[in-house]
Amino acid sequence: MHFYFYFFRYIFSAKTRQKLLFIAVVGLFISTFSLVILQGIMGGLQNGLIERSKKTLGRGHIDLALEKSTQKISEIETKLKNKGITYSREYEIELMVNHGSRVNPVILHGVDFEHLTPRFLENKDLSGVVLGSDLATNLNSYFDSKLTFISPAHIDYLINPIPRSVSEIITDFYVSDLSEIDSVHAWTRLSLIQNLIRKRLVNKLIFYSEEDLELAVEALGIEQVTTWEQQNKSLVWALNLETNVMLFLFIGMSLLVAICITSGFMIFFDKIKTDLISYWVMGKSQKDIYRMSYIFTHIVSLVFCSLGILVGLLVLELLNSNNLNLMPDFFVERRIPVKISPFKVLLAFIIPYSISVLFSYFSFSSFKKDTGSFIKLLRQAS
């Protein structure tokens, strides 16, 4: 312990301290701290986007359109009810919606409000159509506007084939803060769509709770249940790519710190050769001195990486608990969101630590090779 404390003091307080190594270990601290902060805030932003989407579209669903038999559909619902699983029943259909001279595609959800009302619609007026906010803007519509929903897939023959249509007024609007939802989705009662298609059917059972989704997968198998991640593969891939690119760029920047570490330790070991020889004179073997010197490089990396992790987590906790309103007005998040998992904390530690240890080993190996025998060094000094 005296050996390690002596050289720690040498780095920071000795008159002949090596400033490049001091800069390197501070850079190691900043690297770890920055990676924790970056992952925490990026994780919070990505999690906010995913949770807003899951709140509206559900965490998973069963596509009943794949089931040809009504008896099979009935068996599925019976299994879910026996397990005490809550779910929403709906018929989802792609239509064209017309208001005045404007026409837009729309995904209309006919929800069985008598079975279970999704939480995000609980405070909405469900007597008509609840329209996504961006879709309402595109149609130049407002409260009590009359919309006509047209289904090209369902044709009536009156002299010429005519697409079926149904009209309903707007009774409310919904804002999810996700343009891909607000610009194309609308919700209404199930009976309106059943009147349009002239069949008493539902084609989706949606799970809004993570626990219900897990129970459904357990009861029916993963083949029948489609999760949000499976439904949004491109978005999940894009978010993972964003994270991986960020880590790749960070590793590239950490290599600059590693160059400082290599140069710093090479100069540091060259300066402490005399001190190491003094330990050898007092009875320590050269092999033990080399071993302790190499362990010392690990301890330096471990201490400053751990310090960066602790300070980073403290800053994230302060951001998360104080609700600081630092974001511009056009941001959905009114405060900086924070979400970090133990795996990401471990990653923030391992990346700088591994780079530091790797380049420290290079420095130490070079020092060990150049030093040779302590007896030879003593003869040269004398």
Whether the Cβ atoms of residue 47 and residue 339 lie closer than 8 Å to each other: yes
CA distance 156 to 138: 29
Question: Helices marked H in the chain — which ranges?
Answer: 2-12, 19-57, 70-82, 133-138, 179-182, 190-197, 210-220, 228-231, 233-271, 273-281, 286-322, 342-371, 374-381
pLDDT in tens, 365-381: 777 776 666 566 555 55
Q: 10 Å Cβ neighbour count for 323?
A: 9
pLDDT tens column, 226-259: 899 998 898 899 888 888 888 888 877 777 777 7
* Length of the chain in terms of residues written: 382
For a pLDDT cut of 90, what percent of the chain falls above it? 27
pLDDT digits (tens, 9 = 90+) for 264-281: 777 776 666 666 666 666
Between 196 and 1, the higher pLDDT residue? 196
Average pLDDT, the chain: 82
Task: Average the pLDDT over 76-92 and give the result.
Answer: 90
Residue 13's pLDDT is 64
Amino acid at residue number 57 = L
Q: How confident is residue 285, by pLDDT bands cut at 50, 70 and 90? A: confident
pLDDT for 205 equals 92
> Which has the higher per-residue pLDDT, 70 or 344?
344
Contact yes or no for 29/304 (Cβ under 8 A): yes
The whole-number pLDDT of residue 309 equals 92
pLDDT higher for 360 or 281? 360
pLDDT for 315 beyond 80? yes
**Residue 167 in contact with residue 148, Cβ under 8 Å?**
yes
pLDDT attached to residue 105: 94
CB atoms within 10 A of CB 203: 20
pTM for the full predicted model = 0.77
Residue with more model confidence, 206 or 326 = 206
CB 223 within 8 A of CB 76: no
Specify the pLDDT at position 103.
Answer: 92
Instruction: Say yes or no to pLDDT of 329 above 60.
Output: no
Mean pLDDT calculated for residue range 138-157: 89
